[in-house]
Amino acid sequence: MERLWAPWRVAYIRNPGRGCFFCAGLKAKDAAKSLILEKTEYAFSLLNRFPYNNGHTMIAPLRHIGSLEELDNEEILAINHLLTRAMRAIRETMKAHGFNIGINQGNIAGAGVVDHIHIHCVPRWQGDTNFMPVLADTKVVSEALQDTYTTIKKGLAALDELL
């Protein structure tokens, strides 16, 4: 059995904060500070502040809802549109070799934010896991969050120029 060790996330687990950080990010005046990459009429994407890997992006509906079954067709389409845009931008700008895409719906499934459904898009590279997480309980993320944010934003802008 393979395991995905993420001990660097313990800061979030021990102190997740109050309220919904998705909704708080949407209300904030500074999208870059909230790490919001894109926002449409129905959904938005943002970088994970406690990433499993560089470029770990989350896509969520604007509405504060807790399950996939509650999404309407417009939200489903918008979320999938933002997911594919994030993947394209990350593949182009960060040269990702692949992605782990997933949803943890409900507390028992491991959802950190139970009441605001979201999709995780985790970029992967050949050999992106080394001895540090296993031996030292430390994940090496090789780029600052703001630098990753800037890189992906440029990639998203480049996608718009192609259309």
Catalytic residues, which ones?
118
56 annotated ligand-binding residue: no
Whole-angstrom distance, CA of residue 86 vs CA of residue 7:
25
104 annotated ligand-binding residue: no
Whole-angstrom distance, CA of residue 109 vs CA of residue 145:
27
Give 61-76 as a DSSP string: ESS----GGG--HHHH
Whole-angstrom distance, CA of residue 75 vs CA of residue 62:
8
48 annotated ligand-binding residue: yes
112 annotated ligand-binding residue: yes
Judge whether 36 and 26 are in contact, CB under 8 Å: yes
140 annotated ligand-binding residue: no
113 annotated ligand-binding residue: yes
Q: Residues at the annotated binding site?
A: 48, 110-114, 120
Q: Residues at the annotated binding site for substrate?
A: 48, 110-114, 120
